[in-house]
Chain A
Amino acid sequence: MTRILLTEGLNQLIVGEHTLSPIQIETSPKGTYQLVLNYQSKEMIDIKVMVRPDANLSVFISSDADQIHCVERYEVYRSAQLNLAYADLSNSKIKRVSSIHLIEEGAGVDLHSVALVNQDHEVQYIFEHEAEHTTGSMENYAVIVEQGLLKLHAIGHIHKSAYFSETHQSTRVLSLANAQKAVLYPQLIIDNNEVLASHSASTGQLDDEHLYYLESRGLNKQAAIRLVVQGYLSSIADHIVDEGIKQSILSMIERKVTQYV
């Protein structure tokens, strides 16, 4: 097992072949923390992250291995906030289960994921609202290119004990050709009546009217499609705290969009 106690400010961790799994990461109570995780291992990655009371943790996760298989468990304690951002932009085959447990009153999570899918990509994002006044917000954006196959489970589960909790999720998937496939499983499991909850999901190709509108301002079709795709993926930038990492991800998105679209 690898145990890491985060310090306030920026923490970076590369998870390679030699990192001992499982990995347990935790904050101290209170304070603001940033964690940048980069997966470079083909082995199964098992991570547990604990956000202690009143702490604020922003996690940014990207991967560079050909194949990623990971199980992530987050525990968010009293009045703590977890901000999770995933950028799946490399040519990886990805299988991920990420469960976020809001286990004490006032815990919150904000999850934003973007993916450029050109291989098998199967992910599950699960919010478990286990205490009162917990809040969860999830936004997923994916663009499918080439032979990409996306399976995405977005689950918000409000337990019976979680009075006055809120869970919201939206998923938008764009496919660029007829043969591509995306299967979305948006789910809300609500065991308490005193809650707010919503979900939305859409999948499809670019709207012809959108393309006409963009082209009517002088963009050729390819430039119009690239602009929309880049817009989908660049939404991650608002969820990356570190300016250097943000710029590097935006450049990467530009390169990838030019490569695939």
Chain B
Amino acid sequence: MLSTFVHLVCAIIKALKIGHYGEKMSTLLIQNLHVSIDDKPILKGINLQIQSNEIHALMGPNGNGKSTLLASIMGHPKYTVTQGSITLDGQDVLKMEVNQRSRAGLFLGMQYPQEVAGVTNSDFMKAALNARRETPIGLFAFIKQLESSIKQLEMKSDLAHRYVNEGFSGGEKKRNEILQMILLNPEIAMLDEIDSGLDVDALKVVASAILEQQVKTKMGLLIVSHYERFYQLIVPTHVHVIIDGKIVLEGDTDLVNKIDTNGYDWIQTELGIEIPKEEDHRPVVTTLGTCAVKERGQE
């Protein structure tokens, strides 16, 4: 009797997660999120809900918490959540390791993707795919999938054998992030300034690949971009403006257009809030030790 009841409850929960077209419906819920770096509060009470098939644009002046929000959702160790909650389909994301968040269905396309020398793209992606499978992916199926995505993103065919992001141009790194997103097939993808470093043609290719994946899988999207052009290619269903660690305005594409035309100063005046100046939290990239290089013929 009890087991019948449990099965019934499970069936109802499963049914609630499945949409009209049979896709899994996912919900990322962020409530009253406060985040600090080195005891300095950056996010001061974020509330946000992203569901499958929704495209959320996150806008705001530099240094007001957009990237911090995305990195905190993904679990970057530099950020400390001091208050609030993040759940994905009811599961407590804050209790998960970074890799568990990925396997649960979250993806972050990073603003500054890391270069990992010695690890080829193909080995990396195969390992990432196998991490979410019970049995390893077949070599043929993997190569077919990888080559199709490389073609879709108009990337160089030797990508599979190159080390992860090493020696990549800014645009190649961003395409590589989207390639990973397509292969990993997340429930909710967060893209942090994925359009920066892309020329006009590359922007269209990348936007088209993101859209195609979104339409196919109905994944939810949380996109950080400063540019209206990108939001013309991927039209958001929801727009949020984050200032000083809080979402202060919400709307639709009209809000994107207004910001593109007038900047953010009007928000300051209209809402009577002050926009803090940007502090640079970006990582310092250092390379140890190439020296004593002498060009031929020079003294």
Binding site for B on A (CB under 8 A): 141, 164, 172, 186, 188, 190, 193-202, 204, 207-210, 212-221, 223-224, 227-228, 230-232, 234-235
Q: Are A215 and B97 in contact (CB under 8 A)?
A: yes
Secondary structure type dominating chain A contacts: mixed
Min distance, Cβ B276 to any Cβ of chain A, angstroms: 25
CB < 8 Å neighbour of B118 from A190, A202, A219, A235: A235
B 86-108 binary contact with A (CB < 8 Å = 1; else 0): 00000000000111011100001
**Which candidate, B58-66, B123-131, B204-212, B247-255, is the interface stretch facing chain A?**
B123-131
Min distance, Cβ A73 to any Cβ of chain B, angstroms: 26
Q: At the interface, yes or no: B280 with Cβ under 8 Å from chain A?
A: no
Task: Give 12 A-B contacts (CB < 8 Å), ordered by A residue.
Answer: A197-B294, A200-B290, A201-B289, A212-B98, A215-B98, A217-B131, A217-B180, A219-B131, A227-B119, A228-B116, A231-B120, A235-B118
Q: Are A217 and B102 in contact (CB under 8 A)?
A: yes
B 189-216 binary contact with A (CB < 8 Å = 1; else 0): 0000000000000000000000000000
A194 to B299, CA, bound (A): 9
Q: At the interface, yes or no: B263 with Cβ under 8 Å from chain A?
A: no
List, in ascending order, chain A residues with CB within 8 A of B99's CB: 215-221, 224
Binding site for A on B (CB under 8 A): 74-77, 97-99, 101-103, 108, 110, 113-114, 116-120, 123-125, 127-128, 131-132, 163, 180, 184, 283, 287-297, 299
A230 to B123, CA, bound (A): 10
A219 to B127, CA, bound (A): 7
Nearest B residue (CB) for A238: B161
CB < 8 Å neighbour of A218 from B103, B113, B291, B296: B103
Q: Are B131 and A213 in contact (CB under 8 A)?
A: no
Given contact pairs A200-B288, A217-B102, A219-B127, a sample of 6 additional A-B residue pairs in the complex whose CB atoms are under 8 Å apart? A214-B116, A215-B97, A217-B124, A223-B127, A231-B119, A231-B163
Q: Are A209 and B283 in contact (CB under 8 A)?
A: yes
Nearest B residue (CB) for A204: B288
A230 to B101, CA, bound (A): 25
